[in-house]
Amino acid sequence: MKMQNVMALLRKDMRLSRMVFLGGVAMWPMPMWFTLAVVCKLYMIDPAASGRSLARIAGQGVTACMMLSGLMVAMVVGHLMTSERADRSSAFLSYLPFSRREALVSKIMTALALATAFLLLNIVLRAVVLHFTDMGSYWREYIIVMLACGTLIFGSTWLAGTCFRSGAIATAAGLAVPIALWMSLWLSHFEEPTGLFLLFVTWSVGLGVFFFIAGSTVFLKQRPEG
């Protein structure tokens, strides 16, 4: 594996994902802008409104941004893994002196870099909101759930992207798996919810890593034009 080939593919994958990523960054803060508008409106109507109530609304905006960032990660990974097969450009790339392993490393680096960018955006937003409110009690749980759910979304989309040509299908699969996992765990522990949080985190990380390894294996064995 040649690093110059990996870097060339990395630049190509970054260009390929640039517009989807920028579109996601533009859409990501919209729930927070809406929430801030609601908070300002409520404060103008009733300046004596409880600060705790306004902080709770702001927290809901942060949560909405976190959920939307999951969609953004799924869209970026799904587009990255399917676009070359959808437009048949992968067939052209197969004639260039790049190995499948080099292509896989490039896509992993690109997907992780862009997913990490969304993670950092959420952490910064949460830190800013915590600075102005008293919402610090669930900070650790927030980070754990975000990382675990993000791992599952990433892995699910990664595997679906290697199996389907459609980025929409890959994105939908990446979002559907965490929801299905949570619903199945919640229903199976409906009468005894103790430990449900830890169980969801454990299953999310385990399945996310498994799906990522499975998707990478499929990618290496896949024909470039497949």
What is the crossing angle of helices 30-45 and 51-86, to 10°? 160
pLDDT tens per residue across span 158-187: 999 998 888 899 999 999 999 999 899 888
Confidence (pLDDT) at 93 = 61
Distance of alpha carbon 136 from alpha carbon 126, whole angstroms: 9
Residue reference for tokens 């690093």: 3
Mean pLDDT (whole number) for 106-119: 91
- pLDDT tier at 135, thresholds 50, 70, 90: low
Q: Is the pLDDT of residue 90 over 80?
A: no
pTM for the structure as a whole: 0.83
Confidence (pLDDT) at 121 = 86
pLDDT tens per residue across span 49-78: 555 566 666 677 777 888 888 889 999 999
* DSSP code for 94: T
Encoding tokens for residue 160? 């679906």
Distance of alpha carbon 19 from alpha carbon 13, whole angstroms: 11
- pLDDT tier at 6, thresholds 50, 70, 90: confident
- Give the Å distances, CA to CA, from 121 to 11, 61, 89, 124: 23, 14, 32, 5
